[in-house]
């Protein structure tokens, strides 16, 4: 099989922009699209090509990666009859949706891709803005195993771990498990800091000590220091985390599962959003206790 040289990237948010930048730096011919075109300006200055629609991205690229906000955005990007990816793609190409979306939508994309002779992966990621910038993401993939094998060299440029899990939708299910885990670590981080402050302890010393013991988590290591600096910029948006937790709970319900801890985390984040923090980072959960 020929080596992939032309990559299309759709969705230049906090994480998508960093991934696209790393692919450009790695030497790929990069075609980009974003609803707010100005977010691509620095990539274009480095040599990327900006195109006006997802359809044009699909026409120009051998591999098309999408990383947008919500399942509705994914549907529009792929299925719009006039400007969507599937309106302009040709057989033999590969599509990868890295958006955290629904397993059902991942299966719909795979079905349409098969009809068109295209390989498809649902490959959401974990690692936040830091992982995207430092090329240390974790990729959870479902869909065509051949596609996974073909893009493995590309995944190795943006992630420290990429794992194939099975048929279409499998990657999204793993990401839901990940988000369930993150929900627990973020509520735990917030509450341990609230407790430590009320007890009159040095918060920096508490974080340093706990990071060496059984309470250590990725959230504690990466978001704890941000909280102490009052840095609530989004490595991952509150509004997107709410979306993810709703998907996870919906999928759990379909499997006749009750997840009370995740339900509690969702309720806390919805309260946080109601207070105006929907566009802040998930670490802003501490604001429910500390306020302004």
Query: Which residue shows structure tokens 């991952």?
Result: 236
Do residues 160 and 136 make contact, with C-beta atoms less than 8 angstroms apart? yes
- Of 268, 280, 138, which Cα lies nearest the Cα of 191? 268
The tally of CA atoms less than 13 A away on the side-chain side of residue 243 is: 17
Q: Phi and psi dihedrals of 133, rounded to 5?
A: -70, -40
Quick one: DSSP state of residue 235?
A: S
- Give the largest Cα separation in the chain, rounded: 63
Among residues 93, 107, 133, 175, the one annotated as catalytic is 175
Say how many C-beta atoms besides its own lie within 10 A of residue 185's C-beta.
17
Token duo for residue 195 = 């407790």
Q: Where are the alpha helices (DSSP H) in the chain?
A: 14-25, 41-45, 54-60, 71-79, 103-115, 128-134, 145-158, 170-198, 203-210, 218-228, 238-254, 260-272, 287-290
Per the annotation, the verdict on 175 as an active-site residue is yes
Say how many C-beta atoms besides its own lie within 10 A of residue 278's C-beta.
17
DSSP string for 34-87 = -SSGGGGHHHHHTT-EE-SSHHHHHHH-SEEEE--SSHHHHHHHHH-TTTSGGG
Do residues 259 and 180 make contact, with C-beta atoms less than 8 angstroms apart? yes
Residues taking part in catalysis: 175
């Amino acid at each position: 099989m020929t080596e992939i040289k032309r990559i299309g990237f759709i969705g230049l948010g906090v994480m998508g922009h960093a991934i696209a930048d790393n692919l450009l730096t790695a030497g790929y011919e990069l075609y980009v699209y974003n609803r707010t075109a100005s977010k691509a300006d620095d990539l274009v200055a480095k040599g990327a090509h900006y195109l006006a629609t997802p359809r044009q991205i699909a026409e120009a690229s051998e591999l098309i990666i999408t990383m947008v906000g919500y399942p509705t955005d994914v549907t529009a990007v792929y299925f719009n009859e006039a400007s969507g990816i599937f309106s302009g793609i040709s057989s033999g190409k590969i599509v990868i949706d890295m958006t955290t979306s629904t397993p059902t939508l991942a299966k719909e994309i795979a079905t349409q891709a098969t009809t068109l002779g295209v390989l498809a992966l649902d490959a959401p990621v974990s690692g936040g803005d830091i992982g995207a910038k430092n090329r240390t993401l974790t990729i959870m993939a479902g869909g065509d195993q051949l596609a996974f094998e073909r893009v493995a060299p590309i995944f190795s440029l943006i992630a420290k771990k990429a794992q194939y899990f099975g048929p279409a939708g499998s990657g999204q299910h793993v990401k839901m498990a990940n988000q369930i885990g993150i929900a627990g670590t973020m509520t735990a981080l917030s509450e341990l800091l609230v407790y430590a402050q009320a007890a009159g302890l040095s918060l920096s010393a508490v974080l340093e000590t706990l990071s060496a013991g059984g309470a250590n988590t990725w959230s504690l290591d990466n978001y704890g220091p941000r909280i102490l600096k009052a840095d609530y910029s989004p490595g991952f948006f509150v509004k997107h985390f709410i979306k993810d937790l709703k998907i996870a709970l919906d999928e759990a319900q379909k499997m006749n599962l009750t997840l009370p801890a995740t339900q509690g985390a969702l309720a806390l984040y919805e309260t946080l959003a109601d207070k105006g923090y929907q566009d802040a980072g998930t670490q802003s959960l501490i604001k429910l206790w500390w306020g302004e």
